[in-house]
């Protein structure tokens, strides 16, 4: 079978000699062993490792049933969640949907997201939209207590209850949350909402192959079985304890570069549809590795767009960067540049060429220019932006992240640091139990 993901560190070899890379490769293989043994740090949260092979038909059928039910009369699905309870679904839906989906004729309900911010304007505008659409809601929170989605859900639930009544709300609201804990679990059980369980041993940023990701993705009309099939392929490929394992290679390269002072990794895409994949990837690596005052800072750029804004810095600014380019081998659509008799724009030298060919030359030219400028490049190639490739890519990054975190020597599966802002926010909002802290903080403002 043709490989779905290939890694090339060729453009980085002038920064990391082969002998040195081999040392990191060995470290990555040892980290893979540790991950597979289940004896490393954070091993209570390794449930994501075999999600693709463990997904039951019963689960995918239950998910599809919700879609079939809502197909009849629902125009708008509000998907509520933040962080790991938001980004996976958003990334996949953006990557696989028409670029102008909201302006194209609707084939099913439109998906919008909420609960990923606390903007009054955003939520008031969501209310404007809900007033003119038939609404359903998927509310996702593992803890069931996160403030941002809780605020959004309070508003959306109120709208649904007042518009359609309690009985109909049972059909229009679905909760994805913990098996037994948290306010959302209690609310779902008490109100009779349909619900899905997020497994205890899967953390938010590794949950895209649970109902957290699968339900919204299916509601957007995407074939979740194909997505899981791609992930399953990658589950098998990345279990191999060999130097050909792409997750081992990527983890080895990025840690080798980090050891050379390349402390910021830019994930580069050449397709606007991949913008949110980068956002998902940033959370995956940032929240997994940014610990104990260590970790590569994950950032992202959308090329060629950002070559006209960030290109100068990348080419010539401080040399603490490396780039990882997601290269998509073939476009899904076919479009060539037309010829023009007058050639007033001087573009006839491109006439007849595919747009993607121009994109590819921009990609290759940029890789060489940035490498020459002191920015090592890694390249991850996928055949196309298909559901299967995307499933493989997501799983690949998850596996590489686990390996990479173990090479770095941190626990890649906790996120204690996220709590600090929450405590301060609760104190400043006078949440019961946080009064004293609130007084202390207010004096500092
Ligand atoms: O990766 C994580 O654990 C976080 O990003 C969470 O997903 C995020 O904070 C949302 O948490 P919850 O699903 O409990 O509402």
**The token pair that represents 7 in the structure block:** 């890694």
pLDDT 10s digits, 218-247: 999 999 999 999 999 999 999 999 999 999
Mean pLDDT in the chain?
Answer: 96
Domains of the chain and any CATH numbers: 6-41+241-411 (3.40.50.10490), 48-227 (3.40.50.10490)
- Nearest atom within ligand 1 for CA of residue 83: 5
Q: How confident is the model at residue 2 (pLDDT cuts 50, 70, 90)?
A: low
**Candidate from 118, 146, 181, 197 with most ligand 1 atoms within 8 A of CB, to mutate:** 146
Structure confidence at residue 371 (pLDDT): 95
The pairing of strands 377-384 and 6-8 is: antiparallel
Task: State the catalytic residues.
Answer: 287, 308, 422
Query: For position 11, what pLDDT does the model report?
Result: 78
Ligand 1 and 387: CB distance under 6 A: no
Q: pLDDT digit string (tens) for 308-360?
A: 999 999 999 999 999 999 999 999 999 999 999 999 999 999 999 999 999 99
Residue 35 has pLDDT above 50, yes or no: yes
Q: What is the percent of the chain where pLDDT is above 70?
A: 99
**pLDDT above 60 (res 8):** yes
- State the pLDDT at residue 415: 87
pLDDT of the residue at 101: 94
Instruction: Give 70-101 pLDDT, tens digit per residue.
Output: 999 999 999 999 999 999 999 999 999 999 99
Please state the rounded mean pLDDT for residues 157-186.
97
Distance, CA of 155 to CA of 153 (rounded, Å): 5
Taking the centre of ligand 1 as the mean of its atom positions, its distance from the CA of residue 205, in whole angstroms, is 7
Q: Is the CB of 203 under 6 A from ligand 1?
A: yes
* Cα(109)–Cα(212) distance, integer angstroms: 18
Which band of pLDDT confidence, cut at 50, 70 and 90, is reported for residue 419?
confident
Work out the pLDDT band at 1, boundaries 50, 70, 90: very low
In this predicted structure, the answer to whether residue 60 has a pLDDT above a threshold of 70 is: yes
End-to-end CA distance of the chain: 60
Q: Is the dihedral of CA 339, 273, 297, 6 positive or negative?
A: negative
Over residues 176-184, the mean pLDDT reads 94
């Amino acid at each position: 079978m043709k490989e779905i993901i290939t890694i090339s560190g060729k453009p980085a070899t002038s920064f990391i000699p082969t002998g040195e890379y081999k040392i990191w490769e060995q470290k990555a293989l040892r980290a893979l062993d540790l991950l597979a043994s289940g004896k490393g740090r954070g091993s209570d949260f390794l449930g994501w490792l075999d999600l693709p092979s463990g997904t039951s038909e019963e689960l995918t059928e239950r998910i599809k049933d919700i879609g079939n039910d809502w197909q009849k009369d629902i125009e708008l699905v509000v998907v509520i969640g933040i962080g790991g309870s938001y980004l996976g679904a958003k990334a996949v839906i953006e990557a696989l949907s028409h670029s102008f989906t909201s302006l194209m004729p609707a084939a099913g309900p439109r998906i919008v997201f909420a609960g990923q911010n606390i903007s009054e304007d955003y939520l008031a505008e969501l209310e404007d939209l809900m007033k003119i659409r038939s609404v359903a809601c998927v509310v996702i929170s593992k803890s069931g207590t996160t403030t941002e989605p809780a605020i959004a859900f309070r508003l959306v639930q109120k709208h649904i209850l007042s518009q359609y009544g309690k009985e109909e709300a049972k059909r229009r609201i679905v909760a994805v949350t913990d098996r037994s804990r948290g306010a959302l679990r209690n609310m779902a059980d008490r109100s009779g909402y349909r619900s899905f369980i997020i497994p205890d041993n899967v953390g938010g940023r590794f949950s895209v192959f649970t109902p957290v990701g699968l339900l919204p993705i299916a509601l957007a009309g995407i074939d979740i079985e194909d997505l899981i099939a791609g992930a399953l392929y990658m589950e098998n490929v990345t279990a191999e304890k060999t130097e050909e394992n792409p997750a081992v290679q990527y983890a080895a390269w990025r840690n080798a570069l980090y050891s050379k002072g390349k402390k910021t990794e830019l994930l580069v895409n050449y397709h606007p549809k991949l913008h949110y994949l980068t956002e998902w990837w940033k959370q995956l690596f940032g929240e997994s590795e940014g610990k104990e005052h260590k970790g590569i800072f994950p950032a992202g750029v959308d090329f060629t767009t950002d070559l006209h804004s960030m290109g100068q810095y990348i080419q010539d600014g401080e040399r603490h960067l490396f780039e990882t380019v997601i290269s998509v081998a073939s476009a899904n659509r076919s479009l060539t540049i037309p010829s023009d008799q007058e050639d007033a724009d001087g573009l006839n030298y491109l006439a007849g060429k595919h747009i993607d060919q121009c994109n590819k030359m921009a990609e290759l030219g940029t890789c060489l220019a940035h490498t020459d400028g002191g920015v090592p490049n890694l390249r991850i190639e996928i055949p196309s932006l298909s559901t299967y490739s995307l499933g493989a890519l997501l799983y690949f990054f998850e596996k590489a992240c686990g390996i990479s975190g173990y090479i770095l020597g941190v626990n890649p599966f906790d996120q204690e640091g996220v709590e600090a802002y929450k405590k301060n926010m609760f104190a400043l909002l006078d949440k019961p139990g946080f009064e004293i802290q609130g007084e202390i903080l207010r004096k500092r403002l």
